[in-house]
Amino acid sequence: MGLKYIWYGHGTSGLETGGYKVLIDPYFTDNPAASAHADEVEADFIVVSHGHGDHIADAVAIAGRTGALVISNFEIVNWLTAQGVEKTHPQHIGGGFKHPFGYLKLTQALHGSGLPDGSYGGNPAGILLTTNAGEKVYLACDTGLFPGMTLIGEEGIDLAVLPIGDNFTMGPDDALRAVKMIQPKHVIPVHYNTWPPIEQDPHAWAARVEAETSTQAHVLKPGESFSL
Q: For helices 172-182 and 202-212, what crossing angle results, to 10°? A: 40
Q: How far apart are CA 96 and CA 104, in angstroms?
A: 5
Nearer to Mn ion, 3 or 161 (CB): 161
Stretch that binds Mn ion, among 48-56, 81-89, 122-130, 150-158 (CB under 5 A): 48-56
Q: What is the 3-state secondary structure (H, E, C) of 176-225?
A: HHHHHHHCCCEEEEECCCCCHHHCCCHHHHHHHHHHHCCCEECCCCCCCE
Under the binding rule (CB under 5 A), the answer on residue 166 touching Mn ion is no
Under the binding rule (CB under 5 A), the answer on residue 54 touching Mn ion is yes
Stretch that binds Ni ion, among 16-24, 137-145, 149-157, 171-179 (CB under 5 A): 137-145
Nearer to Ni ion, 52 or 105 (CB): 52
Segments of 49-205 assigned E as strands: 69-73, 88-91, 96-99, 102-108, 125-131, 136-139, 159-163, 186-190
Under the binding rule (CB under 5 A), the answer on residue 21 touching Ni ion is no
Residue list 207-226, contact with Ni ion (CB under 5 A): none
Under the binding rule (CB under 5 A), the answer on residue 25 touching Ni ion is no
State the binding string over 28-57 for Ni ion (x if CB under 5 A, else -): ------------------------x-----
